[in-house]
Amino acid sequence: FSTVADGVKGKRAKEWGLVDDVYMGSKYDEQIVGRVKELAAQSTRPDGLEGITLDPIEIPADGSDIELEHVSFRFDRAQRLGTLVVRGPSGAQPADPDAIHAAGSDYWPLRAFRELDRILLHLRLNEPEIGTVLVKSEGDAAAVLASDAVLDKHRDHWLVNEIIQYIKRTLKRVDYTAKSFLGVIEPGSCFAGTLFELILCSDRSYMLDDPDRPVTIELSVMNGGSYPMGNGLSRLETRFLNDPGKPAELLGRGGAFEALDAEESGLVTFAPDDIDWDDDVRFAIEERTSLSPDALTGMEANLRFGGPETMETKIFGRLTAWQNWIFQRPNAVGERGALKIYGQAGIRPEFDWRRT
């Protein structure tokens, strides 16, 4: 197909699997409507539903720190660094679909991930020079796990399903954002269940090992495939591609992981003690912010999407990073690009630090 100069028409296009079906022009509209009705009939959503209103989420337009109800973002422009903090639920939470519907857009999982989504879009479009993001959380892990239990129990309800799908898409947006994400798990964190996906999204994660201030993480059923990546796998499956049985083992273990257990299990990258903690995190930040932003975009895009290659990973994990961005930029081949001055003693490359 790639070398057929005249292209491929109807019958052959279907035989080659390039299209799903071919309709005659005289019956095209009728058959399209029929096909749409067939697909609509497969929906499990009841008729006559009342939706919920999604209130707008406003953030400052002046470049100042962002403080929303459940998510905040602080800027350190001197280091081209940002700190993202997601707060877990507080107070009584809805326990059934009717209560979730009544809560509407204020329901914690929906509101928190809408705020996260809004901040991610703001960073990509309006803050291209913020290249590294620390990912933190605050709150009660038990409350996050309780929220997960409600989502799992009622996942077949149309509204709960829509919320799960929205969380899935927002987590994918993290995967597809050209920033370096460093997960930071410290006292007061609530990286459990759904929020632990943010650690699995991170390019590197640090978990404090301090017996005097114990820190834990915990998995839930929602980590078992409720939020698949673009490669069709869960983030746990992607993380343990070389050990396919590991995700089920970790999910079946139950209970919290302390720092050294989490490191040994492969759930976090490093677990420094309190003596090394500040230096290790600082070195990681300095390391990332010193490297070519385009090199990081390319490497991170490659490493985030192991496993099966799908249309989605080809587009967002490969082409978008490489063909549509890196190959058009001067950081490699410009007059002071890394490749142009490679091997020239005493000369450092000049980088355009913008990332999307």
Q: Distance (Å, rounded) from C-alpha 119 to C-alpha 69?
A: 12
- CATH number of 167's domain: 3.90.226.10
Q: What is the mean pLDDT of residues 87-95?
A: 95
Give the domain range for residue 350: 297-356
- Percent of the chain at pLDDT > 70 equals 98
Q: Say what the pLDDT of residue 327 is.
A: 67
DSSP letter for 337, please: -
Whether residue 48 is contained in a domain is answered as: no
DSSP letter for 270, please: B
Domain boundary among 239, 260, 290: 290
Whether residue 49 is contained in a domain is answered as: no
Instruction: Tell me the pLDDT tens digit for each residue of 185-240.
Output: 999 999 999 999 999 999 999 999 999 999 999 999 999 999 999 999 999 999 99
| Residue 325 in this model has a pLDDT that exceeds 80 | no
Name the average pLDDT for the chain: 93
Instruction: Tell me the pLDDT tens digit for each residue of 264-293.
Output: 999 999 999 999 999 999 999 999 999 988
90 and 201 assigned to the same domain? yes
| Residue 152 in this model has a pLDDT that exceeds 80 | yes
Q: Distance (Å, rounded) from C-alpha 106 to C-alpha 55?
A: 9
Tell me the HSE value of 198 on the side-chain side, using a 13 A CA sphere: 31
**Angle at which helices 108-126 and 141-153 pack, to 10 degrees?**
110
Q: Please list, in sequence order, all residues whose beta carbon lies within 8 angstroms of the beta carbon of residue 115, skipping any fewer than 6 positions away.
A: 57, 68, 69, 70, 71
| Residue 356 in this model has a pLDDT that exceeds 70 | no
pTM listed for this prediction: 0.88
145 and 260 assigned to the same domain? yes
Whether residue 329 is contained in a domain is answered as: yes
Q: Which residue has the tokens 């903090």?
A: 85
151 and 121 assigned to the same domain? yes
Give, in degrees to the nearest 5, the angle at Cα 239 between 152 and 116.
Answer: 55
Q: What is the mean pLDDT of residues 159-173?
A: 98
